[in-house]
Amino acid sequence: MKGFILSFRSEFYKSRKTLGFWASIMLPLLICVLLFVGFYSKSEKLVSYPPMVLWLQFAGAILAVMGSLVLPMYIIFIAYSVNSIEHRADTWKTLFTLPIQRWCVYAAKYFYAVFLVFTCLALFVLFTIGFGNLLSVVKPELRFDDFHMEKELAEIYFKLFLSSLGILSIQFLLSLLWADFLKPMGIGFVCTIAGVILASKGWEYAYLFPYSHPMQAIKTMMHRGDSDHAKQLQIDIFTKDVFVSMAVGVVVFVAGYFIVQRRSVK
């Protein structure tokens, strides 16, 4: 366990000056700022909306961008980023000659990627709430302060986080096995497009395909069966696509370890 913690801290130390790390902070900031500017400049059209609808519009716009394309692409990039540090510096051999268990090195890297994704999504929650409330300060006619959906937002992004674990594991393994960017990127991109199409066309087995999961997660988050408006805001976190995503995540993570262990270090 000590080896895992040391390796995890080292991952942070190594990556804190890389684009991969900063992307996790800049991406939510950028998207939320853009939406903030959009709402600020078009505030006169939004004045008539009740607070809940305002929030749904604001958070929904961010979620729509995230769920479809940005989240999968961001995950592909993060998985590449944490592995390419070692590929570029040719440091795999040094990592595996340290007096640290191999699984610690592997798991620390994987969980660091998970941590980055989690941080990014947590910042989305934070920035969405922050910029929403800021809107009500700078444009008091937008009544963002009259409605609260912090809990629901946190639940939605947590669901998104869980639904991204399948893709993350697969992309992590691809990026670990291939040093170049194009192979994992190309495969990830094609699968993401396919995933978006499958999920948006409502294919009944889309929940089995990891690259459909973020979009599936957005589609399945609203609690069904209630026409009552207030109850519609209940979030279903553990839907079957989320379970599949977590299962794929765990299976690929474990399988990846055995693949890495059997592969000779060049």
Nearer to other proteins, 229 or 266 (CB): 266
Helix H, strand E, coil C: the string for 51-73 is HHHHHHHHHHHHHHHHHHHHHHH
CA separation, residue 137 to residues 2, 40, 237 (Å): 47, 11, 32
In the shown chain, the binding pattern of residues 101 to 120 toward other proteins, with x for contact by CB under 8 A and - for none, equals x-------------------
Give SS3 for 149.
Answer: coil
In whole angstroms, the minimum distance from the beta carbon of 46 to other proteins comes to 44
Q: Which residue, chain included where needed, has tokens 């609203």?
A: 222
Bridge partners, residue 222, by sequence: 235
In the shown chain, the binding pattern of residues 49 to 78 toward other proteins, with x for contact by CB under 8 A and - for none, equals ------------------------------
Q: Which residues contact 129 (CB under 8 A, 6 or more apart)?
A: 150, 153
Q: Does 265 bind other proteins (CB under 8 A)?
A: yes
Give SS3 for 140.
Answer: coil
Q: Which residues contact 123 (CB under 8 A, 6 or more apart)?
A: 24, 25, 28, 29
Cα end-to-end span (Å), the chain: 27
Nearer to other proteins, 88 or 201 (CB): 88
Of 222, 216, 213, 215, the residue nearest 155 (C-alpha): 222
Binder of other proteins out of 22, 38, 60, 94 (CB under 8 A) = 94
Identify which range of 6-14, 51-59, 136-144, 223-231 contacts other proteins by CB under 8 A. 6-14
In whole angstroms, the minimum distance from the beta carbon of 102 to other proteins comes to 9
Q: Does 23 bind other proteins (CB under 8 A)?
A: no
Question: Is the CB of residue 4 less than 8 Å from the CB of residue 107?
Answer: yes
Tokens at residue 110, please? 């994987």
Identify which range of 83-91, 162-170, 209-217, 243-251 contacts other proteins by CB under 8 A. 83-91
Binder of other proteins out of 1, 13, 182, 201 (CB under 8 A) = 13
**Segment 160 to 199, residues that bind other proteins, using CB under 8 A:** none
Binder of other proteins out of 45, 97, 182, 227 (CB under 8 A) = 97
In whole angstroms, the minimum distance from the beta carbon of 89 to other proteins comes to 5
Tokens at residue 19, please? 């684009």
Question: Where does this chain bind other proteins (CB under 8 A)?
Answer: 6-7, 9-10, 13-14, 17-18, 85, 88-91, 93-94, 96-101, 264-265
